[in-house]
Amino acid sequence: MTWRDIPRLAELEQELFAGDAWSAETWWAELAGRPRREYVVLEGISGIEGYAGVDHGGDVADIMTVAVSPERRGRGLGDRLVDTLLDRARSRGAGAVMLEVRADNDAARAMYRRHGFAEISVRRHYYQPGDVDAVVMRRRLEEAR
């Protein structure tokens, strides 16, 4: 991901996350957080098809976001993005990867479970407005030890 992607990312965020969308300003701040923050995009002939990011926080890495454009879903792109983030976390020496996901996001919860993430706790009323719980998930990276 580069700063040139920001206008399109801000558009996609509105489409994908509505009330929780990241603005162009947020994307600038996130890219300024490199190298601790790391973001990747998947590009097809019509532009960005998916993107994802991770925070390399020492022993524990945190997945910041994973998103696939609605027209390109169900083809394994989400899986590729999660695999990429796990590889990047492993290569930076993390022992575990954590994330928070909306409790009502069945597609994402199923995807993360298939990648070995366990649901370890619930943060009640985390997403506001909407009053939706956050599920905290963790995947250990034993291979890095």
What residues make contact with ligand COA under the rule CB under 6 A?
Answer: 16, 65-68, 73-79, 101, 105-108, 110-111, 114
Of 44 and 76, which has the nearer Cβ to ligand COA? 76
Q: How far is the CB of 41 from ligand COA (least distance, A)?
A: 13
Which own/partner contact pairs does 73-78 have at CB distance under 8 Å and 24+ positions apart? Answer: 77/42, 77/49, 77/50, 78/50, 78/111
Q: How far is the CB of 145 from ligand COA (least distance, A)?
A: 27
Of 57 and 144, which has the nearer Cβ to ligand COA? 57
DSSP label at 105? -
Of 73 and 92, which has the nearer Cβ to ligand COA? 73
> What residue is closest to ligand COA based on CB?
78
Contact 59, 37 (CB under 8 A): no
Q: How far is the CB of 111 from ligand COA (least distance, A)?
A: 3
DSSP letter string, 40-53: EEEEETTEEEEEEE
At CA 80, angle to CA 77 and CA 86, rounded to 5? Answer: 145
